[in-house]
Amino acid sequence: MHQAALLGTMIRDAPHYGWELAQPTPHSWRKMAEAVQNHVKSLNWGHRVQLQDRKVKYFNIKASFVNKHTVRGVTKDGKETLLSAEHIVIATGGRPRYPMHVEGALEYGITSDDIFWLKESPGKTHLSGCFVQAEAQEQGLVVGASYVALECAGFLTGLGLDTTIMMRSIPLRGFDQMSSLVTEHMAAHGTRFLRGCIPLRVGRLPDGQLQVTWEDLTASKENTGTFDTVLWAVGRAPETGSLALEKAGVSTDPHSQKVLVDAQEATSVPHIFAIGDVAEGRPELTPTAVMAGKLLAQRLCHQSSDLMDYDNVPTTVFTPLEYGCVGLSEEAAVARHGQEHVEVYHAYYKPLEFTVAERDASQCYIKMVCLREPPQLVLGLHFLGPNAGEVTQGFALGIKCGTSYQQVMRTVGIHPTCAEEVAKLRISKRSGLDPTVTGC
């Protein structure tokens, strides 16, 4: 869906490059959703086939613990199965959380899990048995400031829907706070923001629209607005509540309800393990869980003793202007090493593909966080711009291998790419000089 939104931007850019396209170009949510759903179904089928090929028994059942070595599974029709094993791995992940303190949240809201399965655009209002386009109203409200909230709001805006984000505090908490440029870019391209606000209740109006009441914390007053869809992106909860972990003696964090694990991914019961989003203190990232699972399997089969390394895990936020990062944020580096021991190199740059189309590049920004003492070990890299995931993945290897600023500066850039701007970072924050790139 992010790619669908990017294609919309490219269609608008195309006339600048000589393509004579009819404008505006309509978008079919139904066709896109069908393609996305078919892709997901094919992935699921592929996993089933691979399990069968490797002679792995697959049970489509809802499981819970009976004791330390046994789980009970229940099928959809209520049939029970008991399974016993020497080792058990919990990898149940998490699900989007509903704000249960908000009246009407569950009845009238959806989550990021739901939006990918909507057959009709969330910017359509049901009225008198037919779908009509709402006029002069914000069509979609996304509540939250996480990467899930910003990604969903970003592609909804990109697909031509009027979208509003309601956030209580700062966006992308836990990321480097250059991430404020992400929301600046979104605001400049049509996404509305309600900052310092919290939802109070949601109700349905006679015409089918949803009326949302929220508190403006800065003005200490209540406001209301009408929307076609309310999407909750206020965090995720681990799938531990129905597992009967207490019967196996598996301990969880009392606050997060995630499973407590050690460096071996072992729980409080040595032969029971937990990986992925369900484990406390682990990044909520699919590739991280996959890698942890592979290494755990190798250890259990006595093929290796390698442990998962959770330092310098790269990731990307797929907002309209993508944000990729690996390593420490500037704030974390300063907290760990002290301001006087950290050097930050940065640049505002203009991607070549923005030039002919005359697109605004105000928020395209790169930051490299280093130790100040030579050879200046790179502690973190933060990249805001096109194809951020592809750029970050390459530099993540160097940072994982302990690269230094000097080595990055000796790396020949590939012209004319955005990635080469990383190898041209010469201006330090400490210098106070203008970091805007003015030429090659």
- The residue type found at 393 is Q
- By the 8 A CB rule, do 392 and 317 touch? no
81 vs 75: CA distance, rounded Å? 8
The 8-class DSSP code of residue 100 comes to T
**Three-state SS sequence of 50-83:** HHHHCCCCCCCCEEEEEECCEEEEECCCCCEEEE
- By the 8 A CB rule, do 63 and 244 touch? no
Q: Which of 101, 255, 302, 415 is catalytic?
A: 415
Single out the residue of 273, 247, 246 nearest to residue 260, CA to CA. 273
Q: Tell me if residue 415 is catalytic.
A: yes
Helices (H), 84-211: 105-108, 112-115, 147-158, 180-188
User: What's the Cα-to-Cα distance from 231 to each of 109, 124, 385, rounded to whole Å?
Assistant: 6, 14, 26
Alpha-carbon dihedral angle through residues 120, 126, 131, 134, given to the nearest 10 degrees: -100
Q: Which residues pair with 82 in a beta bridge?
A: 72
Single out the residue of 221, 222, 226, 197 nearest to residue 211, CA to CA. 226
99 vs 104: CA distance, rounded Å? 10
- Token readout for 430 is 């400490």
Single out the residue of 410, 431, 413 nearest to residue 422, CA to CA. 413
- Token readout for 148 is 């899930």
- By the 8 A CB rule, do 140 and 164 touch? yes
429 vs 33: CA distance, rounded Å? 44
- By the 8 A CB rule, do 353 and 320 touch? no
The terminus-to-terminus CA distance of the chain in angstroms comes to: 34
Give the residue numbers annotated as catalytic, written as ranges.
Answer: 415
